[in-house]
Amino acid sequence: MSERVKANKKSPAPVAAAKTEAALPVLGPVEMLRWAWTQLTSMRTALFLLLLLAVAAVPGSLFPQRPANPSIVTQYIKDNPDYGKLLDTLQLYDVYSSAWFSAIYILLFISLIGCVVPRAIAHYRAMRSQPPRTPKRLSRLPEYGTLVVPADAGLPASDAIRSAAGVLKKRGYRVDVRDDDGARPSLGAERGFAKEVGNLVFHTSLIGVLVSVAVGGLFGYSGQRILVEGDTFVNTLVGYDQFTPGTNFQSSQLQPYSIQLDKFDVLFDRESPGKIGQPIDFNAEVTTRETPDSPAKQEVLKVNDPVTLGGTSIYLTGNGYAPVVTIRDGAGNVAMQGPVVAKLQGDNYYSSLVIKVPDARPEQLGFVGFFLPTAFITEEGVSFSGDPDLFNPQLTLNSYFGDLGLDAGSPQNVFELDVRDLTPLNARNLDAGGITLAPGSTYTLPDGKGSISFDSVKRYVGVDIHHNPGQLYALIFALLAVGGLIVSLYVNRRRVWVRTGTHEDGRTMVEYGLLARGEDHRLAAEAVAVRKLLSEEWQLADSDSGESADGSDSSVTQQTPSRQGDNGADSVTTPAGPTGPKKDQ
């Protein structure tokens, strides 16, 4: 005995030495790739990449983007020489096609696919397989109950299990009956596979949304154009005022359709107190052609009611007035004639106006001022617009001459005039004063520089043109994702087992148990519903009891509300088993 104790005391030493000498295996290239793939395809990584993608998109709204407006990016770098080039090196002026943004996007795409595909395969196998075998002790399940069919009902255990299978099938369960000819037949039933299907649809739809957005970003395009009444827009690159192409855009994608603005009307409120002059409706009458040889079609363009042409959607986004002017240079030649777009600046369509006349000779001319649809002048001599309609239109301008800087090739804003290198001709602080014109009037410029005539007023509209081949698919996948999420949240996967047996006195003893896959707060209600359906199937009265063969109740010591006694939903009495107390003793 003492030798055995002594031997036992010495035995831990070699074990400790063995533990000390133990070393982790070295991971080879294949094992490292397998580990990296496991980490990448985890749901935690997918959620992290989704959050990282949202954060990575933020610089795109903080810094000017080169695909949208290259000239603004160039000017931004010139204005910020200390860090402008660094931001360009980091691709922060081209965020959505940068290498690091694309890497996050692709990794998220791979991660979602790696998550969804194995789960889809596992769920497919689960749907093809039979429900799990009946547990030996159903009383250990979260929801458990028993029923007793009287002997005079003449319902053997095999018939009871078949009728129970029919009841559960009608309730949507997939049922598998076991040992229906044996002494203790049972069944396993399962339903709620739609929960995992909804989960898979949700994640698959996220992949679809990512692909659709990527397709739109690669092959889509958008642009803006201002159309004055009578103008025609042809869908070519030179026809846009501003154009934003996708990463893989090709000019051959542009369909050669055309749209002409025939007339534009604005309905102003003339009745509501405090809202007089507010626009309440916009109506643009347009003529469209799908191709140059197609017949003309009359359509109406309204706010939130776009016109669809050549796979693009044309939206009405802005409007205003365009005074028609004629400008003659010092030699008496017409240097410019046509409408000039006035940019909205204030209430009642108070608008600023810039006119550049690079063809004037001997000196180029420039005009800056504002247009008033209904001009009023205060006692202090300040002009303002009293109404948005054309009741008393007026042009008020300052004039300049000199080099406009257009010949240098640098891009300029059409709504701005740099007067630093120009010589003023007309201004309120000069002897010549400013220029004030009404429709049909002409003003002769000082020093023989020419003249300007205010001929009439037209309206203009601003249109946004969008082509996004992935937009419809993104909407479909987004709706599918919402639907899948709702299904996964409100459908519960449940399992039911029923076992029957015949007592010595001829009674048929039935026990059943329910188990949920995951949290299911409605499992108790499902147990009550199953019990009620089985009772109705076998025409059991509430007064029937599940007493043991010797007439005494076998009660459980743990009072679990979800445990249901025989034929009584509120009872916690549990009989010894379907074959009587002698079977369990």
What is the per-residue pLDDT across 67-124, written as a single tens digit (0 to 9) for each? Answer: 777 778 888 898 888 888 899 999 999 898 889 998 998 999 899 888 889 989 999 9
Do residues 301 and 314 make contact, with C-beta atoms less than 8 angstroms apart? yes
Domain boundary (425, 458, 487) is at: 487
Predicted confidence (pLDDT) per residue in 415-468, tens digit: 899 998 899 999 888 888 899 999 999 999 999 999 999 999 999 999 999 999
**Residue 393: partners with Cβ closer than 8 Å, 6 or more residues away:** 321, 323, 371, 372, 373, 374, 375, 438, 439, 457
Six-digit token string for 191: 């339903």
Please check whether residue 27 lies inside any domain of the structure: no
pLDDT value of position 405: 86
Give the lowest-confidence range in 27-31, 291-295, 304-308, 390-394: 27-31
pLDDT value of position 153: 85
Q: Which domain holds residue 215?
A: 197-219+470-487
**Residue 17: partners with Cβ closer than 8 Å, 6 or more residues away:** none
Of 126 and 180, the structure prediction assigns the larger pLDDT to 126
Would you place residue 407 in the very low, low, confident or very high pLDDT band (cuts 50, 70, 90)?
confident
- pTM for this prediction: 0.69
Would you place residue 287 in the very low, low, confident or very high pLDDT band (cuts 50, 70, 90)?
very high
Of 203 and 43, the structure prediction assigns the larger pLDDT to 203
Q: Are residues 398 and 516 in the same domain?
A: no
Would you place residue 563 in the very low, low, confident or very high pLDDT band (cuts 50, 70, 90)?
very low
Residue percentage of the chain with pLDDT more than 90: 54
pLDDT value of position 24: 65
Six-digit token string for 175: 């049922």
CA distances 294 to 235, 257, 258, 290, 342, Å, are 14, 9, 10, 6, 34
Predicted confidence (pLDDT) per residue in 204-247, tens digit: 999 999 899 889 988 999 999 999 999 999 999 999 998 888 88
Please check whether residue 2 lies inside any domain of the structure: no
Domain count, the chain: 4
Which residue type, as a one-letter code, is found at position 513? G
Q: Are residues 318 and 378 in the same domain?
A: yes
Residue percentage of the chain with pLDDT more than 70: 88
Please check whether residue 306 lies inside any domain of the structure: yes
Distance between first and last Cα of the chain = 41
pLDDT value of position 21: 61
Q: Are residues 414 and 551 in the same domain?
A: no
Do residues 266 and 319 make contact, with C-beta atoms less than 8 angstroms apart? yes
pLDDT of 286 higher than 50:
yes
Of 482 and 559, the structure prediction assigns the larger pLDDT to 482
Domain boundary (115, 145, 180) is at: 115
Q: Are residues 535 and 520 in the same domain?
A: yes
Q: Which of 277-281, 333-337, 405-409, 560-564 is predicted most confidently?
A: 333-337
Q: Are residues 235 and 281 in the same domain?
A: yes
Six-digit token string for 486: 């709702």
Burial 29-49 (b: 16+ CB within 10 A, else e): eeeeeeeeeeebbeeebbeeb
Of 112 and 411, the structure prediction assigns the larger pLDDT to 112
Q: Are residues 498 and 462 in the same domain?
A: no
Q: Are residues 315 and 463 in the same domain?
A: yes
Q: Are residues 451 and 303 in the same domain?
A: yes
Predicted confidence (pLDDT) per residue in 167-204, tens digit: 999 999 999 998 877 789 999 999 999 999 999 999 99
Count of CB atoms situated within 10 Å of the CB of 233? 22
Please check whether residue 535 lies inside any domain of the structure: yes
Domain boundary (115, 146, 161) is at: 115
Six-digit token string for 393: 């239109």
Please check whether residue 240 lies inside any domain of the structure: yes
pLDDT value of position 550: 37
Burial 387-419 (b: 16+ CB within 10 A, else e): bbbeeebbbbbbbbbbebbeeeeeeeeeeebee
Q: Are residues 536 and 551 in the same domain?
A: yes
Q: Are residues 140 and 154 in the same domain?
A: yes
Do residues 577 and 583 make contact, with C-beta atoms less than 8 angstroms apart? yes
Q: How does DSSP classify residue 253? A: G
Which residue type, as a one-letter code, is found at position 18? A
Q: Are residues 328 and 407 in the same domain?
A: yes
Please check whether residue 204 lies inside any domain of the structure: yes
Six-digit token string for 227: 């159309």
**Residue 168: partners with Cβ closer than 8 Å, 6 or more residues away:** 175, 187, 189, 496, 498, 530
274: phi > 0 → left, psi -120 to 50 → alpha, else beta; which?
Answer: left
Q: Are residues 91 and 208 in the same domain?
A: no
Please check whether residue 121 lies inside any domain of the structure: no
pLDDT value of position 580: 40
pLDDT value of position 245: 86
Burial 533-545 (b: 16+ CB within 10 A, else e): ebbeebebeeebe
pLDDT value of position 583: 38
pLDDT value of position 518: 82
**pLDDT mean across residues, the chain:** 85
The CA distance from 108 to 46, in Å, is 6
pLDDT value of position 561: 38
pLDDT value of position 14: 55
Predicted confidence (pLDDT) per residue in 474-517, tens digit: 999 999 999 999 999 999 999 999 999 998 888 999 999 999 98
Burial class (CB in 10 A: 0-12, 13-18, 19+), 343: middle
The CA distance from 176 to 133, in Å, is 9
pLDDT of 3 higher than 80:
no
- DSSP per residue over 442-489, as a string? EEEPGGG--EEEEEEEEEEEEEEEEE-TTHHHHHHHHHHHHHHHHHHH
Would you place residue 578 in the very low, low, confident or very high pLDDT band (cuts 50, 70, 90)?
very low
pLDDT value of position 272: 83
pLDDT of 575 higher than 70:
no
Residue keyed to tokens 């009439």:
456
Do residues 284 and 302 make contact, with C-beta atoms less than 8 angstroms apart? yes
Do residues 311 and 256 make contact, with C-beta atoms less than 8 angstroms apart? no
pLDDT value of position 75: 85
The CA distance from 135 to 436, in Å, is 96
Please check whether residue 20 lies inside any domain of the structure: no
Of 270 and 324, the structure prediction assigns the larger pLDDT to 324
